[in-house]
Amino acid sequence: MVIGFIGLGIMGRPMAENLCKAGYSLIVNDHHEENIASLVAAGAKEGSLKEIGLNSDVVITMLPNSPQVREVMLGKEGVASYMRQQTAFIDMSSINPVDSKYIGSVLKEKNIDMLDAPVSGGEPKAIDGTVAFMVGGDEEVFNKYKPILLHMGSTVTRCGELGAGNTTKLANQIIVACNIEALAEALTLAQKAGVNPECVFEAIKGGLAGSTVMNAKAPMMINGDDKPGFKIDLHIKDLNNALECAHTVGAPVPMTAQVLEVMQYLNNNGDGKSDHSAIAHYYEKLADIKIGREK
């Protein structure tokens, strides 16, 4: 089976490498030559969008947002123009579910199957192949292509019809963002009250407040490590999509709006490329501290 893989960023590159390790033939495309080079070294071939469309049994995208996915797939020289009937498109990007449904409807007219399959887990889990997939699409199509996803992730869950994967991802991103903000707020409280934030983390991580988010992000906040596993500006994109979807369906999301404003402030003040744990910077500035460290 030949897989076309478009988008070799922080998440896409290690996920594509895992497909190479699993023995799939990959044709890859990305704006950055250094990302392509690492995949070629892993056994993939570089190809244009046209070459990917003509030669792939499955096309996978891992792109920033809806406009990029629509352009790559449905643009004037988009991949869909060259794909054969009865092939498939799996979009692992995190986009608005409305756009997933639209792209799927266009592809359906060409007799091309589609799954929306965004992921959660960040760069470390992308590297070790343990991301969680949230998938939308026809059940038969899901069952056919699930083995491909299992070479990149540890859990692959069908959440409903096309668009359900990205709806689930938006829910995931709301929970993650609000957890990170609550963690930063709590550790700031500890520091201002004279209690070591690292001790607080050790004391509560095994209780009800404990979470995967806390285990991953508390040490980063305490150590001042904002190397991106998932960038603030990408999380802003996801939360904007969440607000747009929520407004469309009439769901109240006031917490989402609040944490989005905090992230937007950080983006406007030089932290857009930082890890989303850099929400702590917002609280550190307000409280005039450094969490777990000397100023």
Tally of CB atoms within 10 A around 107: 21
Q: Which CATH superfamily is domain 2-160 in?
A: NAD(P)-binding Rossmann-like Domain (3.40.50.720)
What is the per-residue pLDDT across 219-257, written as a single tens digit (0 to 9) for each? 999 999 999 988 999 999 999 999 999 999 999 999 999
Pick the catalytic residue from 169, 217, 231, 237: 169
Q: With pLDDT > 90 as the criterion, what percentage of the chain qualifies?
A: 95
256-270 residue pLDDT tens: 999 999 999 999 999
pTM of the model: 0.89
**How confident is residue 142, by pLDDT bands cut at 50, 70 and 90?**
very high
Average per-residue pLDDT for the chain: 96
Q: What is the mean pLDDT of residues 99-104?
A: 96
> Could you confirm whether 169 is annotated as catalytic?
yes
Q: Where are the beta strands (DSSP E) in the chain?
A: 2-6, 25-29, 45-46, 58-61, 88-91, 113-116, 119-120, 131-136, 153-160
First to last CA, the chain: 55
- Which of 177, 283, 178 has its CA nearest to residue 234? 177
Domain parsing of the chain, residue ranges = 2-160, 167-287
Beta bridge partners of 60: 5, 90
The residue length of the chain stands at 295
Does CATH place domain 167-287 in 3.30.413.10? no
- Predicted pLDDT of residue 60: 98
Return the C-alpha torsion angle 129, 131, 132, 135, nearest 10: -80
Quick check: 204 pLDDT over 90? Answer: yes
All residues at 6 or more sequence positions from 179 whose CB lies less than 8 Å from its CB, including other chains: 211, 213, 214
Q: Which two tokens stand for residue 131?
A: 């991301």
Position 168 pLDDT exceeds 80: yes
